[in-house]
């Protein structure tokens, strides 16, 4: 900021940091996303996240936070391969939905009067109110959720072999992006994380990744993953080919009308 450019501003910042070292008990930093790297988004404003710094005394925490000012934090500085991480995000929105879809209650018999996709009894006469445990229609999806214990299969770095879909067993030169791009997303141009399982939310929605809160001790979580094959076939159909060269070799020379 402009405050860092003037001598008075630097002195003011330094005095604030000294006050933090003297009086504060908790130190947090404000981190923001680099949203301009995501092409094709209408949003230009970055997402802000407040992150607490743990470990060491207060002075060391403040010094560490200062060392990170205005610096990029790459994904491989925080997460490593074979680790377990948590994903925090907002699920896909479904809108206003009924009890059968929203809560999975049983449909009523066919001959039911006034509708069958309902809850037959919503509670006793007394207590004279509807309990929160009774399934009701309403908003489904667009909920804040935390998914725990997702295993990191690969950390992809731009310009390195990990950014491709090559493995120790499959030496075909192909990009991590499937043929034709990821539907509703496009081409992966920056660093990426490959995780086991699904992820909350639709394409392009921001998610928060964090280290797992509990110490992992099971053999399953401590397993070392060796990827043998990464499928790069098109996700926009049945996807027969891994590369455009393979497709051209199969079809031969085609004449465009």
114-129 pLDDT per residue, tens: 999 999 999 999 999 9
Domain made up of 96-141: CATH architecture? Irregular (4.10)
Average pLDDT for residues 37-63, to the nearest whole number?
A: 92
Token duo for residue 49: 């996240």
194-250 pLDDT per residue, tens: 999 999 999 999 999 999 998 889 998 999 999 999 999 999 989 999 999 999 999
Q: Counting runs of H as helices and runs of E as strands, what totals does the chain give?
A: 4, 8
- The per-residue pLDDT for 95 is 98
Query: Which run of H or E residues covers position 47?
Result: none
Q: Residue 257 pLDDT > 70, yes or no?
A: no
Per the CB < 8 A criterion, the answer to whether 163 and 156 are in contact is yes
Residue 207, sorted as left (phi over 0), alpha (psi -120 to 50) or beta, turns out to be beta
Per the CB < 8 A criterion, the answer to whether 18 and 24 are in contact is no
Q: Where are the domains of the chain?
A: 1-73, 74-92+146-257, 96-141
Q: Residue 82 pLDDT > 90, yes or no?
A: yes
Half-sphere exposure of 73 (CA within 13 A, CB side): 14
Q: Please give the model's pTM, rounded to 2 decimal places.
A: 0.87
- The per-residue pLDDT for 108 is 97
Please give the backbone phi and psi of residue 55, each rounded to the nearest 5 degrees, phi first.
Answer: 95, 135
Q: How far apart are CA 209 and CA 89, in angstroms?
A: 9
- The per-residue pLDDT for 39 is 83
Q: Which CATH class is domain 1-73?
A: alpha beta
Q: Which CATH number describes the domain made up of 74-92+146-257?
A: 2.40.30.10
Q: How far apart are CA 168 and CA 225, in angstroms?
A: 12
In the block, which residue shows the tokens 């401590």?
222
Q: How far apart are CA 39 and CA 190, in angstroms?
A: 11
């Amino acid at each position: 900021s402009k405050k860092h450019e003037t001598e008075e501003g630097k002195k003011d910042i330094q005095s604030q940091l000294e006050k933090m070292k003297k009086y504060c008990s908790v130190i947090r930093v404000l981190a923001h996303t680099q949203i301009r790297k995501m092409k094709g988004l209408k949003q230009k404003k970055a997402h802000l996240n407040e992150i607490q710094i743990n470990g060491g005394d207060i002075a060391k925490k403040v010094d560490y936070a200062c060392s990170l000012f205005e610096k990029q934090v790459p994904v491989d500085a925080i997460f490593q391969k074979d680790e377990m991480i948590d994903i925090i995000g907002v699920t896909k929105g479904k809108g206003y939905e009924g009890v059968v879809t929203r809560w999975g209650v049983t449909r009523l018999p066919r001959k039911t009067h006034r509708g069958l996709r309902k809850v037959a009894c919503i509670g006793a006469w007394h207590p004279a109110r509807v309990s929160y445990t009774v399934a009701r229609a309403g908003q489904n999806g667009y909920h804040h959720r935390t998914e725990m214990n997702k295993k990191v299969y690969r950390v992809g770095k731009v310009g390195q072999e990990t950014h491709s879909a090559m493995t120790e067993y499959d030496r075909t030169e192909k990009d991590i992006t499937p043929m034709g791009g990821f539907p509703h997303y496009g081409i992966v141009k920056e660093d990426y994380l490959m995780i086991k399982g699904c992820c909350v939310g639709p394409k392009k929605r921001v998610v928060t990744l964090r280290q797992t809160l509990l110490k992992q001790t099971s053999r399953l979580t401590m397993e070392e993953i060796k990827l043998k094959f990464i499928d790069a076939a098109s996700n926009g159909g049945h996807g027969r080919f891994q590369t455009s060269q393979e497709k051209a070799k199969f079809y031969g020379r085609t004449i465009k009308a």
